[in-house]
Amino acid sequence: MKVLIFGAGLVGTAYAWQLQESGCDVTLFVRKQRMVRFAHSGISISYSDMRDGGKDYGHTVFRPKVTDRLDPRDKYDIIIVCVKSNQLKDTVPYIAKYSGNSDILFLGSMWDEFSLAEKHFPKGRCFFGFPGIVAGGHTDSGINCFLFGKASTILGEIDGSPSLRLEKTAGILDTAGLSPLIEKKIISWLQYRYLVSAILPGLISKAGSTRLFLSAKELVSQYIIALKEGQRVCRKRGFEKRKVFPFGYFYLPGFILREIIRRRMGEEVQAALEAQMKHAGDEKKKQYYDVLNSGKNYKIPMPYWASFEKYMDFS
């Protein structure tokens, strides 16, 4: 399969690296100023690989095919869009204009951006997903990435249907060890996942670190309550409740749920969260206000969510 990864950030680079290692014909779309450096020196990747039940720490230099332009004559089978949610407003029109008939997979966090995709692409051109298996941040010469063992690349069609492109994409991701998992209600799933991504940075910022957040009983409780407020927003927006951590555990007593959250956020997850805050602060702030403003529009009280507003200036 001929694949273009649009976006040379953490997620785009990690997916391009793993897909190329598995034998895919991969091209990485980069900014013009990075073309020469990436083409000659490659991309430095420090990794912590926790797949297959182990822990493999190492370093490699990834040398991808790179391009700084999109041309419909290149005829990619699929274009995987891996940019921050706050970059989609500028990215989507460009891809729509120059992508030809390629299938488009948006892989990342989205809130109101689905309507943007619908506006610029014909019906059926796009499908969606989330790179749950990869996290981390940037270094001076590349990326530092975590590949989690108990995580997946979530994929789905907007109408929930099984499709040939979904099957093919899941196939290449599986071969690359990127653990595809098909979700029939992908838009609802992404909405709930957005809540977690949006509120955690404020809590961590208030605590001072992820470790201190997890050790603070009151803050973990506030995290749960804030997510419940966000959950009401999602339901008001017409989305079904999805089994996204930790929403599936909300029926449990608070002390049990707090312990589950602490255990799920091991050292690698903590390091990845803090790296994301450092390198994606603009995106995290946007996500926080997306949810808060939606709550205001629907007149849903969100006192706990709103209480973290002053802690969002952490970038």
Q: Are strands 134-138 and 56-62 parallel, antiparallel or unpaired?
A: unpaired
Mean local confidence (pLDDT), 132-139: 90
Q: Which CATH superfamily is domain 2-184 in?
A: NAD(P)-binding Rossmann-like Domain (3.40.50.720)
Query: Could you give the CA distance from residue 115 to residue 123 in angstroms, rounded to a whole number?
Result: 11
Which one, of 65, 91, 87, 86, lies nearest residue 76 by Cα? Answer: 65
| 3-class SS string, 251-263 | CCCHHHHHHHHHH
Cα angle value 122/126/282 (rounded, 5°): 115
pLDDT at 7 over 90: yes
pLDDT per residue as tens digits for the range 199-242: 999 999 999 999 999 999 999 999 999 999 999 999 999 998 88
Q: How far is CA 173 from the centre of its chain?
A: 16
Question: Across the beta sheet with 142-147, what order do the strands follow?
Answer: 56-62, 43-49, 142-147, 134-138
Mark 290-300 as b/e (b = at least 16 C-beta within 10 Å): bbbebbeeeee
**Distances in whole angstroms, Cα of residue 280 to Cα of each of 89, 176, 283, 304, 313:** 17, 26, 5, 23, 12
Q: Which CATH superfamily is domain 188-311 in?
A: N-(1-d-carboxylethyl)-l-norvaline Dehydrogenase; domain 2 (1.10.1040.10)
For residue 156, the surrounding DSSP H or E stretch is strand 153-156
Average pLDDT over residues 144-148: 94
Question: Which residues make up the CATH 1.10.1040.10 domain(s) of the chain?
Answer: 188-311
**d(Cα 55, Cα 86) in Å, to the nearest integer?**
33
Query: Does the structure show a pLDDT above 80 at 42?
Result: yes
pLDDT for 207 equals 94
Residues of the chain within CATH 3.40.50.720 domain(s) are 2-184
10-21 mean pLDDT: 97
Examine the pLDDT at 310 and tell me if it is beyond 80: yes
Question: Which pLDDT band, with edges at 50, 70 and 90, does 47 fall under?
Answer: very high
